[in-house]
Structure 1
Amino acid sequence: MSSAAQSENNKKWLVLATIGLSVFMAMIDSSIVNLTLPTFAREMGVSFAAVQWIVLSYMLTVTTLMLSVGRLADIVGKRPMFVVGLAIFTVASGMCAIEVSLAWLIGWRVVQGVGASVVMALGPAILTEVFPPAERGKALGMIGTTVSAGIVLGPTLGGFILGSLGWGWIFLVNVPLGIIGCIVGARTLPAPVETRGQKFDIAGGVTMFGALLSLLLALTLGQRMGFGAPHILGLFAASVVLGAAFVKIENSVKQPLVQLPLFNNTIFSVNLVSSFLSFIATAGTLILMPFFLQQVLHYGAERTGLLLSVMPIVIGVVAPIAGTLSDKYGVRPITVAGLGVLLLGYLAVSGLTAQSTTLDYILRFLPVGLGLGLFQSPNNSAIMGSVPREHLGIASGLLAVSRTLGQTSGVAIIGALWSARVATHGGTAEGSAAPEAQVSGLHETALVLAGLVAVALLLTLRGTRPRREEIAATT
């Protein structure tokens, strides 16, 4: 290998490290802050409902901006967008650590979410540019490991920092890492490709922002207020109206925010829907298991936390292996195998009982983590490899939205379904229902999750083709 080729090879791994570090910070920030909400409420003298907006403001900002960020990156270039986004995230992290008021913290969490939306939306797009098709799955799989590490380490690291240093350091740890990421990213990320005459679709961006915000608020607030409440129904209606307006705008403007013809590509659209369904199932699982472990099996918080880490640990181990396999054998067989294993996993979870042991729980959840690990990185590779190079930013943004919207929908829909089934079996609220009622509700809900995965599996089998060159095509 020549020195120039060796230099380029080294550079792409530095790019992967920069993206991985940035995504890790964004992911760990979400899970760490959840742990500190009781501390915020106590030290600031506010209600728990109020401090929840520390989390919600970040999540809403990230999800509503990712599509616009992806399109802007296609226009102005991914390197300047990514570095500026990471810099915004870093500065906002430092400002969040300053104890002024709850409004101050929520405001800077919004700014932090702006930076995080850039990092989370552009990571896959940049890696797709830097890594050849034969290594794309492996690179995306490593990012999957980084995401899993952030989920697993967040509560543990957060507990240590909170107990030893105080809550401000939960945000301050991002600052030196963010500075390093900005410096390395500015030097190693690929230079932007010159684009002329490109304009940002302001009307499309505003309507999509409003549609996503209305939907996310309805799904989030509806869990507390009830999905039949007038305000919640109004938010759902606003989301539908704005969504329809967005489609009309995109069909009429010359340079739309989202190229709707992209969805005519069955590989792109089917794998995007499959991703959305898998994240609904994943989020539904994570919201239900703490209730089962603590209220049915009567495990403590520490033991519960360790068992909840089984799935992300398995995903983190399997994801880069699955990515490498997809590079070698094509994405379709690996994604199909992953969804098949995931389906078996949820069927196994539906067999949990009040007499289940720790080993029984682990054995039933291993295939869930294995299936998700096999599915996610090859599926992401298929999505990113099915679009032209000039649309990588918006494709990456759509992929990120499918993840966050699927997670939010999963928590709301699956949580409401489980509550309803528990109430049907126990005649009382889920928190005070008999263990038998909670187990019955879990059985039925797990079967619904298996049904969602079965739909994703059928879509993947019927809607994708085994020809590897079609999936990996990129220009």
Structure 2
Amino acid sequence: MPLSLHMDGLPLPRRYGAIVAIALGISVAVLDGTIANVALPTIARQFQASPAESVWIINAYQLAIIVSLLSFSFLGDLLGYRRIYQAGLLLFSATSLLCAFSDSLTMLTCARILQGFGGAALMSVNTALIRIIYPQRYLGRGMAINALIVAVSSAAGPTVAAAILSVASWQWLFLINVPAGMLALLFAWRFLPENTQTSSARRFDILSAIMNALTFGLLLSALSGAAQGQDYRLILAELLALLVIGTLFIRRQLAMTSPLLPVDLLRIPVFSLSLCTSICSFLAQMLAMVSLPFFLQSVIGRSEVETGLLLTPWPLATMVLSPVAGRLLERFHAGLLGGIGLAIFAIGLFALALLPAAPGDGDIIWRMALCGAGFGLFQSPNNHTIISAAPRHRSGGASGMLGTARLLGQSSGAALVALMFNLFGAQGTHASLLLAGLFSTVAALFSLSRLRQPAGGTL
């Protein structure tokens, strides 16, 4: 259903239906980036794979999203956000079935790549849809809700996995996506608006899309290769190719009036600083979330269900603090809120790294809650800053950059977990948590540096 150019957001109650469509789709797409973490040791044993090899179940999904996210974002501006979102729901649901019926690590990894393309279509346009769903005066509320969904979904994977694994096998971690995806598609078909501001003058640049995929693909492949201990000559070749292709890609984007990668937005200081904050924070989150299940199960002997329950305080604390952060944003600078939140996050991560040799449940729970509280205080204000710093007519590009920053951090974090396990063996989780604490500290410094910057910018 088209949305009038003169209409400021959707009327009630249609707006509620549209938000349900966004919430369902984004929840399953983001959740699938971490939901398999708890089951990684079990899947590794079933397929006779090492912990470092099994991390590819996570990496493949994240890699597919990050190489295609900006392309889907551009297509959303060109063809309509609603169409891209619905296509993503169909692809994501269908490939979830392939994941569930995989009988080898290779097949599961390939299925996760296809599933990642569906997830990328969903993530690429969700923020742009929020901007046309909500009236301008309520946009902050919409962004807060969306940030809450993303933050909680990112951290809630172990909790959801524990609930599913308590009654079913790991295959149901993916089968559960099918009914959720179909329900989201029903709401999307009924309630999501068409963005009628698409421009027929814009053209999708296939060469830019290929160069974008190669740039991010080579970056993550080199990181993963180093983590997996691949031949250094192959890694150097990938880095050289990345330098050449990446340079040509950026130069091409700077010369275009409608670039696939909106590098011109990085000229806005608060925008670029917020992206750096996002990358470092999600890198820290992924280092912790991927490595902790191995410690809880392999080192201190907890079951899959117990592992998920012990990780639950993290998303619960995030759920509590995210709405509070949205309200505090009306009174305090986002850079200050983010800096405080990320400092709390770093303290929680270092506390986890210093767990006693035989920790009790209470030792683990309060540290998890501290991490979740800090992350919840940071995430919503940071996302709001990224979107509001860009000019309104560039919201699609800002949405794509926001998602790319998050996925780049998560993918790099998962790759670094594999490196920590290869370098430190049984102490891999300890090393991962220390590294996560350092990245969170860096993110806090990036956030605080925004205090000297204006809230937005112009191009």
TM-score for both structures, normalised by structure 2: 0.83
Which amino acid counterpart does residue 201 of structure 1 have in structure 2?
Answer: D
Match of 1:21 in 2: 24
Shifted more, 378-387 versus 26-35: the winner is: 26-35
Residue 48 (str. 1) matches residue 49 (str. 2): yes
In the aligned structure 2, how far is the partner of 1:349 from the partner of 1:52? 21
Shift of the 465–245 alpha-carbon distance from structure 1 to 2, 3 Å rule, reads same
The number of aligned residues is 446
Query: 1 CA distance for matches of 2:22 and 2:79?
Result: 19
> Structure 2: how far apart are the matches of 1:190 and 1:371?
35
Alignment match, 2:4:
none
The code of the aligned residue for 1:151 comes to G
SS in 2 for 1:162: coil
Unaligned runs of 5+ in 1: 423-429, 432-437
**Cα separation, 1, equivalents of 2:296 and 2:75:** 44
CA offsets 1:138-165 (integer angstroms, 9 cap, x no match): 32243135515751443224425634xx
Q: Distance in 1 between matches of 2:259 and 2:351?
A: 45
Deviation (angstroms), 1:277: 0.6
Deviation at 1:445, TM superposition (A): 6.0
Structure 2 CA distance for partners of 1:17 and 1:221, relative to 1, 3 Å: same
| Secondary structure, aligned partner of 2:11 | helix
Question: Partner amino acid for 1:138?
Answer: A
Q: Does 1:209 align with 2:196?
A: no
In the TM superposition, 1:274-293 aligns within 5 A as 274-293=277-296
2:146 corresponds to which letter in structure 1? L
Q: 1:154 and 2:157 equivalent?
A: no
Quickly say closer, same or farther: Cα 1:264–1:464, change in 2 above 3 A: farther
Structure 1 CA distance, aligned partners of 2:79 and 2:133? Answer: 17
Distance 1:299 1:41, change over 3 A: closer
Quick check: 2:333–2:451 contact (8 Å CA) kept in 1?
no
**In the alignment, which residue of structure 2 is the partner of 1:425?**
none
Contact 2:283 2:409 in 1 (8 A): yes
CA contact (8 A) 2:227 2:420 kept: no
Q: Determine helix, strand or coil for the equivalent of 1:253.
A: coil
The alpha carbon displacement at 1:378 in A equals 1.2
1:55-70 pair list within 5 angstroms: 56-70=59-73
1:138-287 mapped onto 2 (5 Å cutoff): 138-144=144-150, 146-148=152-154, 150-160=156-166, 162-163=168-169, 167=171, 170-192=173-195, 193-226=197-230, 229-287=232-290
1:135 corresponds to which residue?
141
Which range moved further: 446-455 or 318-327? 446-455
CA contact (8 A) 2:71 2:260 kept: yes
Q: Which has the higher helix share?
A: 1
Amino acid at match of 1:323: G
Assess if the C-alpha contact under 8 Å between 1:24 and 1:150 holds in 2.
no
Map 1:64-463; keep pairs closer than 5 Å: 64-94=67-97, 108-131=111-134, 132-144=138-150, 146-148=152-154, 150-160=156-166, 162-163=168-169, 167=171, 170-192=173-195, 193-226=197-230, 229-294=232-297, 297-327=300-330, 329-354=332-357, 356-413=359-416, 416=419, 420=423, 422=424, 430-431=425-426, 438=427, 442=430, 446-463=433-450
Q: Using a 3 Å threshold, how does the CA distance of structure 1 residues 296 and 60 change in structure 2: closer, same or farther?
A: closer
Displacement after TM superposition at 1:88 (Å): 2.2
Is the CA contact 1:137–1:327 (under 8 Å) kept in the aligned structure 2? no
Q: Is the 8 A contact 2:341 2:376 kept in 1?
A: yes
Q: Aligned partners of 2:36 and 2:432: how far apart in 1?
A: 28
Report if aligned partners of 1:136, 1:323 keep a CA contact under 8 Å in 2.
no
Letter in 2 for 1:15: A
**Pair 86,291 (structure 1): closer, same or farther in 2 beyond 3 Å:** closer
SS in 1 for 2:201: coil
Residues 52 and 347 of structure 1, relative CA distance in 2, 3 Å threshold: closer
Is the CA contact 1:287–1:415 (under 8 Å) kept in the aligned structure 2? no
- Cα distance in 1 for partners of 2:102, 2:437 equals 45
- AA paired with 1:11? R
Q: State how far apart, in whole Å, the 2-side matches of 1:160 and 1:183 are.
A: 29
**CA separation in 1, counterparts of 2:103 and 2:254?**
46
TM-superposition CA deviations, 1:202-252 (whole Å, max 9, x none):
2221111011112222222432234x6322332233223221121121122
Partners of 1:36 and 1:11 lie apart in 2 by 38
Distance in 1 between residues matched to 2:269 and 2:237, nearest whole Å: 33
Secondary structure (helix, strand or coil) at the match of 1:9 reads coil
Unaligned runs of 5+ in 2: 1-6
CA shift, 1:273, in A, is 0.3
- The 1:146–1:219 alpha-carbon spacing in structure 2 relative to 1, beyond 3 Å, is same
Amino acid at match of 1:140: N
Following the alignment from structure 1 to structure 2, what is the Cα–Cα distance between the partners of residues 185 and 272? 29
CA gap of 1:276–1:177, structure 2 versus 1, over 3 A, is same
Aligned-residue RMSD, C-alpha: 3.5
Which whole-Å deviations, capped at 9, do the CAs of 1:243-270 have from their partners, x for residues lacking one? 1121121122332212222001111110
Cα pair distance change 1:119/1:349, threshold 3 Å: same
Structure 1, 372-381 or 135-144: larger mean CA deviation: 135-144
CA deviation vs aligned residue, 1:432-471 (integer Å, no higher than 9, x gap): xxxxxx49x93x765544333332222222234576xx35
Q: Is the 8 A contact 2:67 2:217 kept in 1?
A: yes
Q: Is the 8 A contact 1:144 1:319 kept in 2?
A: no
| Structure 1 pair 137–253 and aligned structure 2 pair: CA distance change class (3 A) | closer
Match of residue 426 from structure 1: none
- Paired residues of 1:32 and 1:158 also in contact (CA < 8 A): no
Instruction: Tell whether the 8 Å contact from 1:277 to 1:453 is kept in structure 2 after alignment.
Output: yes
Give the Cα–Cα distance (whole angstroms) in 1 for the partners of residues 378 and 33 of structure 2: 23
Shift of 1:34: 5.5
Distance apart, 1:382 and its partner CA: 0.9
